[in-house]
Amino acid sequence: MIPAALMEALRQRYDEPQRHYHTWVHIEALLGHYRRWVRHLKRPEPVLWALYWHDAVYDPQAKDNEEQSAQLLEREAAGHVPPHDIGFAATIIRATTTHTGPEGLPAQDAGDLALFLDMDLSILGAPEPVYDQYERDIRAEYSFVPADAYRAGRGAILEGFLSRPRLYFTDIAHAEWDTAARANLARALRALEQGS
């Protein structure tokens, strides 16, 4: 159970003015997937803590948000969660930097990490209007980037996802979101190429 004071502080973080996508709405969306798929998790508690903290520090102009979020979790979870679980939750958060898992995790942890990363990318497979709002929200978070540079950078990210043989690591997420995600990504790339 996450203490109420920690939860309230988190909600304030997710309400910061620079956020448009990385808000509490994103956390609530992930919680919906978590509740639906928690039976597939071997260690649900650290996954839940990672879910709440994974974007706790979010500055679009910074390069170390994931590391700062992981360190915040390590400090704030101390005394509330066993150290082994804190370590795994922090590993999950750090893995969101590249959306790949580190080598050498035990199989059960690797499976939980894979499912978390898939849930974090669930937005890619959202219905078209939801996905299109996501693209607008990401642009708003990076409003300080000039249009041409944004199109190039965002295009590279979307192409990177599209080039993956599998967007989602787990079979359940792949079956649910892959087709829609590829259609959304291709549509978003076309929009960038057209300058919209």
Residue-level pLDDT at 32: 98
Long-range contacts of range 64-72, CB-CB < 8 Å, 24 or more positions apart?
66/93, 66/94, 66/96, 66/97, 67/94, 67/97, 69/93, 70/94
pLDDT of 10 above 70: yes
Helix (H, G, I), strand (E, B) or coil at 153: helix
User: pLDDT at position 196, please?
Assistant: 64
Query: Is pLDDT at 1 greater than 90 in this prediction?
Result: no
* pLDDT (0 to 100) of residue 47: 98
Torsion of CA 185, 93, 113, 152, to 10 degrees: 20
Confidence grade of residue 190 (pLDDT, cut at 50, 70, 90): very high
Burial class (CB in 10 A: 0-12, 13-18, 19+), 24: middle
Cα separation, 191 vs 195, whole angstroms: 6
What average pLDDT does this structure show over 66-78?
98
Instruction: Indicate the pLDDT class of residue 96, thresholds 50, 70 and 90.
Output: very high
Given a cut of 90, whether residue 195 has pLDDT beyond it is: no
- What is the pLDDT, as a whole number, of residue 184? 98
Phi, psi dihedral angles at 165 (to 5 degrees): -60, -35
What average pLDDT does the segment 43-54 reach? 98
pLDDT tens digits along 131-160: 999 999 999 999 999 999 999 999 999 999
Return d(Cα 35, Cα 170) in angstroms, integer: 16
